[in-house]
Chains A and B, each alone.
Chain A
Amino acid sequence: MAKGIWIFVEQREGNIKKVTYELLSAGRKLAEQTGEDVSALLFGEGVAGLAATLGEYGADKIYLAEDARLAQYTTDAYSKVLSELIKAKEPSVVLIGCTVLGRDLAARVAQKVSTGLMSDCTGMELSDGQLVLVRPIYAGKAFVKAVCPEFRPVMATIRPNVLNPAQPQAGRGAEVVNVPVQLEKSDLRQFIKEVILQVSTRPELTEAKIIVSGGRGMKGPENYKILEDLADVLGAAVGASRAAVDSGWIPQSFQVGQTGKTVSPTLYIACGISGSTMHLAGMSSSKCIVAINKDPEADIFKVADYGIVGDLFEVVPLLTEECKKLMAS
């Protein structure tokens, strides 16, 4: 019988993505209900040192695949190693963060092992011994509760920032199992020519706890400075609506919404954003939404928890000053 809850560890250059800790905590909770073990799947080159941290966050076992060909993520290499491991060990559940990498890997692996995969889940519960996943559909305008009743493992990608990571337990150990990496040259067809990372002191949008976002009301690219100032006081990321991106004020990579990124921060501050359904699709799972807009009829106020009807060019700098005082106190 399939047994074991597996968590894929997403890391880039030895930095573990936050969603990994969220999954380890969720996996731990699940394991305590089902009496199974939690295993972390750590792939890369020179990453063995991360094993201790994974143990502290709840892994009982680390499957460690160390190989130069896993130094950079490629679908071909990672999906082969992971699917072979699944076939050999037969886990019951495999959870992967719903990131660009996670989505790319999970779908390929699910097909390799011929099982079901539930994507971009925002909730998870055990019901009559069956793992039920909750996922938004139609851009968050509805949700579906879904199961994979007959095939194992149950696979799911989980949206970052929706599950709360537990505190790590210092010294909690985990057994490290080395995974032999068997890759033929013909397995590896993708060649990464170049990786271009934007240098930013701010957190990545999909991982940020707080996002300060600007839309059409920003009026021009030069005005994003006032959002950046607020973001920096709060340790936040900066986002944008489609209107701002399509106007060429800010690159596409900052766009939140249906044709942009999906985010679930603790706090989303929408400045000069009307709140179209397209935008809401990308941020409606935020825990707290603040809207600053001069139009009291703007749809954003229908989803906001707090709102200020006013001129963002007046309100945002004042808010920055207030936050600065608060952070200093």
Chain B
Amino acid sequence: MRIAVLMKQTFDTAAIISLDANGQIERQDINLIINPYDEFAIEEALRLKEKHGGEVTVIAAGAPETHDALLQALAMGADKAVLVTDDALTGADEYAAAQVLSKLLGSLEFDLLLAGWRAVDDASAQVAVRVAELLGLPQVNVVTKLEIEGDKAVATRDIEGGCEVVEVPLPALITAQKGLNEPRYPTMRGIMQAKRKPCQKLSLAELGIAASQVAPRVKALSYFLPTPRAACRLVPGEAPQAAQELCRLLRETAKII
């Protein structure tokens, strides 16, 4: 089974976010990680390979340092990696990223496309779906259980208040939700092997895409940090008095119960 996995490098989830002098998100001194949802996708790809045989290719578009995230995926057990990196991708939106990734995938053969259902940085949850549309693939999003049955995927996905089981023909896009699996850590041996695995780096020109084809649809006007919430009003007293006073505050001051 040939499996392609879309992945993204994101800020560490514990990163403190600030703005630089130009009002942009400060990127200095931020620890970068594989988007946690993509780790579920990589892990699932590796498990499917272990079960059905085949090959796992990890794919990303982003800054040159995204190479580190791909190396980590190779260390986990992926077979090869491709990174599209180009200055013209600065300010790329989901539309632009999908153009690039679908073009790249168009030149690869695969039976299954996996990705995290969203990235923890922009939380858009769009790129993989847009790629699926561009490639004409069916999709199942926010999947917590995946079975491959011949040329079909049977996926259990989260819906509000429950879940549903969806069957789609392969090739298809499946996006991973927490609960799908428990991602492995790379072993020392895996880390050593990763350095010798193929990791291709492509520019837009090498991919055959003109900068005009990745013009973003959405533009960021400005960034701002949340206004700090007013200091917490600690309700004093022993538990019975505090509970009574809290109840009164919620009704009379906050007017919400």
Instruction: Report A's interface with B, CB cutoff 8 A.
Output: 74-76, 79, 99-101, 103-104, 106-108, 110-112, 114-120, 132, 136-151, 189-198, 200, 204-207, 210, 234, 252-253, 255, 258-260, 266-267, 277-278, 284, 287-291, 301-311, 314-315, 318-319, 321-323, 326-327
Contacts and interface: CB of A to CB of B under 8 A. Distances in A.
Contacts of B142: 100
Contact of A234 (B94, B216, B243, B257): B257
A144 B235 contact: no
Nearest to A151: B217
Interface residues of B, number: 79
B130 A304 contact: no
B256 A322 contact: no
A322 B217 contact: no
Contacts, number: 252
Interface stretch (B44-52, B59-67, B73-81, B133-141): B133-141
Contacts of B15: 138, 141
Contact residues of A: prevailing secondary structure = mixed
A306 B133 contact: no
A221 B162 CA distance: 20
B233 A305 contact: yes
A305 B132 CA distance: 43
B181 interface: no
B192 interface: no
A305 B242 contact: no
B189 interface: no
A116 B123 contact: no
B230 interface: yes
A260 B123 CA distance: 12
Contacts of A146: 218-221
A110 B60 CA distance: 21
A103 B141 contact: yes
Contacts of B98: 111
B33 to A, nearest CB: 13
Interface string B170-192: 00100000110000000000000
Interface stretch (B1-9, B103-111, B197-205, B244-252): B244-252
Instruction: Classify the secondary structure of B's interface with A.
Output: mixed
Contacts of A143: 223-226
Contacts of A132: 221
B124 A119 contact: yes
A308 B217 contact: no
A197 B161 contact: yes
A204 B217 contact: no
Contact of A191 (B36, B159, B167): B167
Interface in B105-163: 120-126, 129-130, 132-134, 138-142, 144, 154, 157-163
A144 B166 contact: no
A190 to B, nearest CB: 5
Contacts of A198: 161-162
Contacts of A111: 95, 98, 129-130, 133-134
A308 B237 CA distance: 9
A318 B123 contact: no
Contacts of B167: 190-191, 193
A306 B121 CA distance: 29
A252 B247 contact: no
10 contacts: A101-B159, A103-B141, A116-B216, A137-B25, A144-B220, A144-B223, A145-B221, A145-B223, A253-B161, A287-B256
